[in-house]
Amino acid sequence: MKTKTLEDLFIDMLKDIYYAERKILKALPKMARSAQSPDLKSAFESHRDETEGQVERLQQVFEMIGKAARGKTCPAIDGIIEEGEEVMEGFKDSPALDAGLVATAQAVEHYEMARYGTLCAWAKLLGHKDVVALLKKTLSEEEATDVKLTRLAEGSVNQAAVEAA
């Protein structure tokens, strides 16, 4: 049996995040429809467009390393998305719905930031210098989205949940 290498792990994690991004792409429109705040709805819609670009970037990464762009089931993202669906169902018509949606979205962003940070470090170590730039671009977008979500939460969404209660 062949010993698995960091390259194998890198490819495995690329498959994981590829699956995750595609699942997120499907979840964002539902989150946008559920959002009560126009600003939050808009943030989800714009992040959906950004996520499409991230999926395309991952397809480029797979091509650059000579592998087929294929996902691998990611139980972590499946669980986070399932939690988001529970929030949408359990807090439908609740003033706390948007706060729950932001919390779910930030859980997704934090997962993605952890994955892309690791992938960037490994790509650099493995000599995939051309891939590092693509992964760093996505990491920067995920970090920016997290900051936007924090601003929405602290600027209006959380307070609106408290005031309406």
CATH of the domain at 138: 1.20.1260.10
The number of folded domains in the chain is: 1
Whether residue 45 is contained in a domain is answered as: yes
Q: What pLDDT was estimated at residue 36? A: 94
Q: What tokens appear for 152 in the block?
A: 């929405």
Q: What pLDDT was estimated at residue 85? A: 97
The residues, any chain, with a CB within 8 Å of residue 79's CB and separated by 6 or more, are none
Q: What pLDDT was estimated at residue 1? A: 81
The residues, any chain, with a CB within 8 Å of residue 161's CB and separated by 6 or more, are 95, 96, 98, 99
Q: What predicted TM-score, i.e. pTM, was given to this entire model?
A: 0.94
Compute the distance between CA of residue 165 and CA of residue 163 in angstroms, rounded to an integer.
6
Q: What pLDDT was estimated at residue 128? A: 96
Q: What pLDDT was estimated at residue 140? A: 98
Whether residue 22 is contained in a domain is answered as: yes
The length of the chain, given as a count of residues: 165
Whether residue 1 is contained in a domain is answered as: no
Whether residue 13 is contained in a domain is answered as: yes
Q: What pLDDT was estimated at residue 130? A: 93
Whether residue 134 is contained in a domain is answered as: yes
Whether residue 138 is contained in a domain is answered as: yes
Compute the distance between CA of residue 120 and CA of residue 132 in angstroms, rounded to an integer.
5
Whether residue 107 is contained in a domain is answered as: yes
71 is in which domain, residue-wise? 6-164
Whether residue 74 is contained in a domain is answered as: yes
Task: Calculate Rg over the CA atoms of the chain.
Answer: 17
Tens-digit pLDDT profile for residues 23-53: 999 999 999 999 999 999 999 999 999 999 9
Question: Residues in the chain with pLDDT < 50?
Answer: none
